[in-house]
Structures are given as C-alpha cells and as structure tokens.
Amino acid sequence: MQVLLLLQFAALQSTLARRMTPVKRLRLNIFNKRGGATKPSLSLRGAGFRAYEKRTLARVSRGGGATGTTVATPQPRPQEDTAVDLLEAHNNAIKTRGGQLPLLILRMVRILPRLLAVMIPALGGYSNLEKFDLLGTALFAYVGTIAGGKNGMDVFGCMVIGTVTATGGGTLRDIVLGGEQQVFWMRDVTYLKICIVTSLVTFFTWPRFETKRGWRDDHELLCFADALGMGAFCVMGAEKALVRDVDPLCAAILGLVTATFGGVTRDVLTRRPVRIFHATIDGAEKSWYALPALFGSSIYVALQTCCDVDKDLAAVCAFLMTVTMRVAAYTYRLTLPAYPNPEWQDGKRVR
C-alpha cells in the first residue's frame, strides 16, 4: 500500500513538473547561412502550440511581432567578397565624387618606380627628359590603340590610331616651331618602333584582360596611363620650346599642344567629339583634361625661367603635379564651367 502511494505521488510530481516547465521561446529563421533570404521556418519546443505557430507566422508576415513571445531574428551573415565583387565595388567607388583618390595615388606611387626601373636602363643613350618623352609615347600609343579598338577598327587601324595619338601633338609642335629640322619621329625612328610594338601588344593582349578581369575602357589603369603620358609630354613640349628661345607663355601653350593634340587627332579620326573641347559627351560630364597639362607645362616653364631650378628637378615636379591633378579630376569628377544650353519644349524651358 505504501509503495502504491509513493508511485502515485511520484506521478503527480512529474505531471506538475511538466506543467511548470517554462515555455520554449519561438525561433524564427528567415536567413540561410550565406545571408540570402529563405522561406520562414519555425522551431517550437513543447506541445500544444501548433495553432499558435500559424498565428505567429501571420503576425510576422504583416510586419508585427509575437505578443508575449520572444522572436529571435538572427542577423544575416555577410557574404564573403569575391575578387569580382571587390573589383565591382572599387569601380563603383571610383565613379562617385570623392572616391578612392588616396588609393589611386598609392597605387601610382607603387607602380611608377617599377615601370621606370624596367624602362630607364634600356634607354641608356637618352637624357632624362627624352626618357620621359619615350615613356609618354608608349603610354599614349596604348591608350590610342584601345580607343581605336572600341570603335571597331582592325589591327592596322588600331596601330595607326595608337601612333597618331602618341605622335600627333609633338608633330604639330615641331611644325609650329619651324626650322630646318625634321619632326622628331623622323629624326629618331625609335618613337615609331615604340608606337608600333605597343599598339600590337595592346591589340592582342588587352581584350583578354578586359574579359577575364572585367577591365573597361574607363578603368583606373587607363586613367593612370593617360595621366602619366600627359605629364611626360607637357614637360617635354615645354622644354623643346624653351630650347628654341620661345616666349615663356608660348612655351607653356606648346607643352599643352604636345600633351593633348594627339588625342584631338585621335578623336577626329574615330569620329568622336573632341574630348578637350566638350563639357559633356554622350550625356556624361567630362573631367579636367587640358587644364592639368597646361598647369604642368606652366610650372615647368616657371621653374626654369623664374626660379632657375635644376632641369631634372623641375621636370619631376611638373610631371608629378600634372599626374596628381589629372587623377584628382578623374576621381572627383572635376569639370570646367559649361556654356548654358537650355532645352525648350512647347515654349517652356525644360532644362
């Protein structure tokens, strides 16, 4: 009898213990492990809550919470960034005003010494300024070849456009200066050899980089190449004008012509709006282009004529200022004032 009473008492205690067990909280998981949204799922521990499960789902789907119950919604785990995602994010940051200028300058500082360390020893018979000129020739030939390819030209057309882009400004400078000497690329055919080799290499290798790495014709690499070529050409153009005893103002202008009129010829041959003359092309505002070249050549002329600075030091200062100014204009979308051109519709100004 006592054993039976003890068994009944133990059963009663176990029943009371089950009733006093706290209700397990409702866990709602709407994110999978990789952060993507999934179908909401509920995990209820305890009996008699099937109807409550449906009501809770209805409240959550309407944006409300579950009264009297804690709804634990875990934060989504961030996806691991792949190389393509990082490249796309970086390109988007470059497009925004005030993007990644410090990063661009850092990369320029890291890349430029390596590039010069490879090229300068191979040019032992040239002065430092002539090495700058040859470097600018290769970079402008690279940019011009891509511009020709984007306009549907074949290998010969791209080679011509690359050569014209690299030599057009210097050719016009030598014609304006006059004299009995031939234009520079006829006196030294090394310039033509560099243009041809650079154009061919770019034509056959750039599409692979463009496809595999997602590089575009407005990528930062082209901005760097264009800025470096501009800095080299504006310095060399101003120096050649000063050697011919040209007025300092005219020397600065000839530096601008040397750095930009190869691009003018390229745009004319490819039937595109001339970049340095237009505020917008295809609805997109264009950043400073001619202004950095004019600024760099003016600095070089001022350091040579007014401050009597060493020629190589003046060239380096003007080169770095030109490149930095061009990269800053590209990054921050700095533009010159445009002439107001309102649009009218039905007698009312639309824009």
Average pLDDT of the segment spanning 205-214: 75
List pLDDT tens digits, range 136-160. 899 899 989 998 998 899 999 999 9
| Poorest-pLDDT segment among 50-59, 71-80, 184-193 | 71-80
> CB neighbours of 120 closer than 8 A, spacing ≥ 6?
131
State the pLDDT at residue 70.
Answer: 47
Looking at per-residue confidence, does 344 or 304 come out higher?
304
pLDDT tier at 339, thresholds 50, 70, 90: confident
> If residue 284 lies in a helix (H) or strand (E), which one and from where to where?
strand 284-285
State the pLDDT at residue 248.
Answer: 92
- Dihedral sign from CA coordinates of 263, 268, 274, 280: negative
Looking at per-residue confidence, does 95 or 331 come out higher?
331
Looking at per-residue confidence, does 221 or 196 come out higher?
196
State the pLDDT at residue 178.
Answer: 85
CA distance 309 to 242: 14
State the pLDDT at residue 223.
Answer: 79
List pLDDT tens digits, range 10-30. 555 555 554 444 544 444 444
The answer to pTM > 0.85 is no
List pLDDT tens digits, range 240-299. 999 999 999 999 999 999 999 999 999 999 988 888 888 887 777 888 889 999 999 999
State the pLDDT at residue 349.
Answer: 66
List pLDDT tens digits, range 42-74. 444 444 445 555 665 555 555 554 444 444 455
State the pLDDT at residue 318.
Answer: 93
Distance, CA of 198 to chain centre: 22
Axis-axis angle for helices 220-243, 128-150 (nearest 10) = 130
Bridge partners, 41 (sequence order): 29
Percent of the chain with pLDDT over 70: 59
> Torsions phi, psi of 126, nearest 5?
-120, 155
Percent of the chain with pLDDT over 90: 30
Average pLDDT across the chain, whole number:
74
State the pLDDT at residue 135.
Answer: 84
What amino acid is encoded at 235 in this protein? Answer: V
List pLDDT tens digits, range 222-238. 778 888 889 989 999 99
Residue 346 has pLDDT above 80, yes or no: no
| Poorest-pLDDT segment among 29-33, 86-90, 297-301, 306-310 | 29-33
Domain ranges of the chain: 23-80, 83-332
